[in-house]
Amino acid sequence: MYSSLKGKHLLATQDWTVEEIERLLAVASRLKEERNLGIPHYDLLRAKTFFMLFFEESTRTRNAFEAGIHQLGGHAHFLTPKATQIDHGETAKDTIKVLSRYGEGIGVRKTFGVGHAYMGELAKHSSIPVVNMQCEDFHPTQVLADLMTIKEKFQNNLKNKKIVVSWTSAPNYIRPLSMAHSLVLCMPRFGLDVTLAHPPEFKLKPEVMEQAKKNAELAGGKFEVADSMEEACKGADIVYAKGWGPIMHTEDEAEGISIIDTYRKNGSMDWVVDKRKMDLTNPGSIYMHCMPFDRDIEVTSEVVDGPHSVVYDEAENRLHIMKAIMAATMAGL
């Protein structure tokens, strides 16, 4: 028997059991099928409110939640620190104590600083579910959409399929560790063999690495680390390449960007997903990215627009997962 998900916070997938995640995925698949069949489900959250508190801008996350709550019959409120009293010093406790009386759920995106701790403080004082829409360490809504996509593409046969979680040399700014952390934690729990690939400066947090190893052991899978994207791609079924900053190596932003740029000098393709690397993967393999990607920098257009790419299916599943999260945690569907 599944426990009810009503009122449950989603701050990281590690906080949920495999059974609870499977239940959520089943709800998402049902809602996706209904939408494809033209069956409306606007009675599920009729007249209910979901607050969206964004400390940074967003494309897919905001629009998936906003479109999703509309399709479920409810309404979204878009909030920012500047447009509330948060920028004036109002505490997490006072903010959520009030919003809990106005609506039925809240999502928060805060990817730099102490986003996860802030969300935990909200959850501590909240009477409505708090959803992590991405923090510095975790991105549960994205990784659940990724998992849904992988299950669809491999007909739910995930056991010992190899997923490569690789760093790419994405330029211009320091990206958080949240996607890499979320992928190496979540995917082993569902039977996937994970190979993490990155240069030496781009290690993940040691506590996350330790938990990822435990998750793989419990599921009877593998968790390995490689120092070459090319080597990692050999025999892969899924290639998920996403940039993140050398946060465990340096806290200096300028130094971090300089390190990232080092791996792109002289036209190096060592940490770029190209056709040559995808040709090393297994037949029927897929290329994934949470978007936005830097075309012809992180990944070649030939791959993004080619037969391996499932990036737009993956992006679509954000909508269905967000709807499932709201329906399950706000109404107990």
Identify the H or E element spanning 19.
Answer: helix 18-36
In a domain? residue 8: no
Sheet order of strands, 75-79 included: 75-79, 49-54, 105-110, 130-135
In a domain? residue 1: no
Rounded Cα gap, residues 150 and 156, in angstroms:
8
137: left (phi over 0), alpha (psi -120 to 50) or beta: alpha
Residues 300 and 156 grouped into a single domain? yes
The total number of structural domains that make up the chain: 2
Mean pLDDT by 10 residues, the chain (333 residues): 82 97 97 97 96 96 98 98 96 98 98 95 98 98 98 97 97 96 98 98 98 98 98 98 97 96 90 98 98 96 98 98 98 87
Two tokens, residue 72: 């479920």
Rounded Cα gap, residues 174 and 261, in angstroms:
11
Residues 124 and 214 grouped into a single domain? no
The whole-number pLDDT of residue 1 equals 37
Residues 22 and 45 grouped into a single domain? yes
Parent domain of 66: 13-139+317-331
In a domain? residue 4: no
Could you tell me the CATH number of the domain that includes residue 53? Answer: 3.40.50.1370
Q: Are 329 and 6 in contact (CB under 8 A)?
A: yes
Contact partners, residue 124, CB within 8 Å, separation at least 6: 93
Residues 84 and 175 grouped into a single domain? no
The whole-number pLDDT of residue 266 equals 80
In a domain? residue 5: no
In a domain? residue 43: yes
